Amino acid sequence: MECYTDNEYATIDESFPEFKVSYDNDDSPRYTIHVRGEEDQYSELAKYDTLKECELHISNFVQSRQSAD
């Protein structure tokens, strides 16, 4: 899963997802959220057991950032 948002690091010519969620059946928790940084490198943000938990984490993160603006 990829999530595109208004990211302060994005430029007009770029269209990279801000968040990516990976799945590993052999890992626990199985879902990992990766967030894109300044140089388009992804780092691990959080891990969850369900995709729904990942969606909620990303939604809450984006909403809190918008509230701070």
Digit-coded pLDDT (tens) for 14-64? 667 889 999 999 999 999 999 988 788 899 999 999 999 999 999 998 888
Q: Which distant-in-sequence residues (6+ apart) come within 8 Å of 46 by Cβ?
A: 32, 33, 54, 57
Under a CB-based contact definition with an 8 Å cutoff, are residues 30 and 24 in contact?
yes
Q: What is the pTM of this model?
A: 0.79
Burial of residue 58 (CB within 10 Å: 0-12, 13-18, 19+) is buried
If pLDDT is split at 50, 70 and 90, which confidence band does 11 have?
low
Q: What is the pLDDT of residue 1?
A: 72
